[in-house]
């Protein structure tokens, strides 16, 4: 460990003070993102300019110590993930993420090094996805650490893709692969012991560094191919239920069509297949994959596959929407799969 890091580990944020902390760690997260004119930062409120043909998308997510992360979680990965999950919400609307605010509550005893690592994670994710910090709030608490990001994005007037809009007869599509994050989480808790080497690191990476599907969401939105969309945060089935409810339709997933990563395929195979309730619960209800789940008219299939090729993200048709309002079913070779729990809820 370098001398500098050792000092930062001993140094607490109370020794540095609120304004120094903001100046040293958070202000550098402001960047030029090519928006014109540049936002006004560091004032009582930020000023961003929304072009006349665009609408503003606003979304917030909070990560709380003891609920979303543990005190020994790598703070760099925490910073990365905090930004990525918010970016995913903008992607699910077909939007272009531009700016974010950071609100952080911490006990005074937190080390400067810990906060600087969170800031490093935010900085890298901000650079990767071309978004700039435009202010926030930094407060002390006697309780747990809490991190809130509010992400702002742009979308053409009337072009935002909502959860409502799916129609009976539409096809159901998902990007990337599903189930990886939940399997990675089970592995980390010591519940899954059938994994080895590279498979472990693949699943953990999917859990720690989700890939917000911004380019894909934008391309599909631009071509008007998604009738309704959501990102998978609570679980495949739970999030599909959100689309079905908002749209006033039902839906069916065909389990044999699910895109599983090679690592996930090996676990599922070893544990007896996706219809075994324990493994099905992880794959269908686990969440945190941050893939796009969307409805599209059957006639759009070829165009969707072309965009998948262009963007370089696989898209798989995994089911369809039905007229059975509010009913979401999982079938495996035509037989209903019974699931223990639909998805994650806080209360
Ligand atoms: P106020 O008292 O008006 O709420 P603050 O003292 O909280 O203002 O913040 C001063 C400035 O520093 C504001 O422009 C605010 O946006 C910015 N700021 C505070 N905390 C953060 C943070 N965590 N990240 C980025 N900017 C921050
Ligand atoms: Mg304030």
pLDDT of residue 35: 75
pLDDT of residue 280: 87
* Per-residue pLDDT at 283 exceeds 80: yes
Ligand nearest to the CA of 22: 1
pTM above 0.85, yes or no: yes
For the chain, percent of residues with pLDDT exceeding 90:
83
Cβ(138) to ligand 1 under 6 A? yes
pLDDT of residue 341: 59
Cβ(99) to ligand 1 under 6 A? no
* Per-residue pLDDT at 274 exceeds 80: yes
Residue whose Cα lies nearest atom 26 of ligand 1: it is 135
Chain segment 15-45, per-residue pLDDT in tens: 999 999 999 999 999 998 877 788 999 999 9
The secondary structure element, H or E, covering residue 219 is: helix 214-222
* Per-residue pLDDT at 342 exceeds 80: no
pLDDT of residue 347: 59
Ligand nearest to the CA of 42: 1
Beta bridge partners of 314: none
If one residue of 20, 133, 135 were mutated to test the ligand 1 pocket, choosing by the most ligand atoms within 8 A of its CB, it would be 135
Alpha carbons 109 and 113: distance in angstroms, whole number: 12
Confidence of residue 141 (pLDDT cuts 50, 70, 90): very high
Nearest to 206 by CA among 126, 261, 149, 243: 261
If one residue of 16, 18, 22 were mutated to test the ligand 1 pocket, choosing by the most ligand atoms within 8 A of its CB, it would be 22
* Per-residue pLDDT at 190 exceeds 90: no
Cβ(18) to ligand 1 under 6 A? no
How many Å lie between the centroid of ligand 1 and the Cα of residue 119? Answer: 15
Confidence of residue 4 (pLDDT cuts 50, 70, 90): low
Confidence of residue 5 (pLDDT cuts 50, 70, 90): low
pLDDT of residue 213: 98
Cβ(39) to ligand 1 under 6 A? no
Those residues whose C-beta lies under 8 Å from the C-beta of residue 312, and which sit 6 or more positions away, are none
Cβ(43) to ligand 1 under 6 A? yes
Residue whose Cα lies nearest atom 3 of ligand 1: it is 44
Chain segment 315-336, per-residue pLDDT in tens: 999 999 999 998 999 999 999 9
Chain segment 52-90, per-residue pLDDT in tens: 999 999 999 999 999 999 999 999 999 999 999 999 999
Cβ(136) to ligand 1 under 6 A? yes
pLDDT of residue 305: 98
pLDDT of residue 192: 84
Ligand nearest to the CA of 119: 1
End-to-end CA gap in the chain: 42
CB 210 within 8 A of CB 268: no
Confidence of residue 297 (pLDDT cuts 50, 70, 90): very high
Confidence of residue 191 (pLDDT cuts 50, 70, 90): confident
Phi, psi of 150 (to 5 degrees): -115, 120
Average pLDDT, the chain: 93
Alpha carbons 256 and 278: distance in angstroms, whole number: 17
Structure token digits, residue 303? 């165009």
Phi, psi of 318 (to 5 degrees): -120, 0
Chain segment 192-224, per-residue pLDDT in tens: 887 788 999 999 999 999 999 999 999 999 999
Q: Are strands 146-156 and 96-106 parallel, antiparallel or unpaired?
A: antiparallel
How many Å lie between the centroid of ligand 1 and the Cα of residue 96? Answer: 25
Chain segment 87-126, per-residue pLDDT in tens: 999 999 999 999 999 999 999 999 999 999 999 999 999 9
pLDDT of residue 329: 94
Cβ(238) to ligand 1 under 6 A? no
Cβ(19) to ligand 1 under 6 A? no
Residue whose Cα lies nearest atom 1 of ligand 1: it is 44
């Amino acid at each position: 460990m370098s001398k500098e890091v050792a000092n930062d580990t001993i140094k607490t944020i109370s020794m540095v003070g609120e304004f120094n902390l903001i100046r040293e760690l958070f202000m550098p997260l402001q960047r030029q993102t090519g928006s014109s004119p540049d936002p006004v930062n560091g004032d009582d409120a930020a000023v961003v300019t929304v072009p006349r043909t665009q609408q503003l998308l606003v979304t917030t997510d909070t990560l709380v110590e003891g609920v979303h992360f543990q005190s020994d979680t790598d703070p760099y990965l925490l910073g990365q993930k905090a930004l990525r999950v918010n970016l995913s919400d903008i992607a699910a609307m077909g939007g272009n993420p531009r700016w974010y605010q950071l609100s952080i509550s911490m006990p005074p005893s937190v080390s400067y090094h810990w906060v600087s690592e969170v800031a490093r994670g935010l900085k890298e994710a901000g650079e990767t996805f071309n978004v700039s910090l435009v202010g926030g709030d930094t407060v002390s608490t006697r309780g747990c650490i809490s991190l809130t990001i509010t992400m702002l994005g742009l979308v053409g007037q009337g072009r935002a893709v909502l959860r409502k809009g799916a129609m009976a007869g539409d096809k159901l599509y998902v990007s990337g692969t599903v189930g990886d994050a939940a399997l990675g989480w089970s592995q980390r808790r010591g519940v899954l012991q059938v994994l080895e080497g590279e498979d472990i690191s693949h699943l953990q990476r999917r859990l720690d560094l989700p890939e917000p599907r911004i380019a894909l969401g934008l391309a599909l939105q631009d071509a008007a191919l998604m009738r309704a969309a959501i990102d998978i945060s609570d679980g495949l089935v739970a999030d599909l239920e959100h689309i079905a409810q908002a749209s006033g339709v039902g839906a069916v997933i065909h389990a044999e069509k699910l895109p599983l990563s090679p690592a996930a395929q090996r676990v599922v195979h070893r544990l007896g297949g996706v219809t075994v309730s324990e493994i099905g619960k992880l794959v269908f209800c686990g969440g945190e994959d941050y893939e796009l789940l969307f409805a599209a008219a059957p006639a759009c299939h070829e165009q969707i596959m072309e965009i998948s090729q262009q963007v370089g993200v696989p898209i798989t048709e995994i089911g369809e929407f039905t007229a059975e309002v509010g009913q979401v079913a999982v079938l495996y070779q035509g037989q209903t799969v019974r699931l223990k729990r639909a998805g994650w809820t806080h209360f």
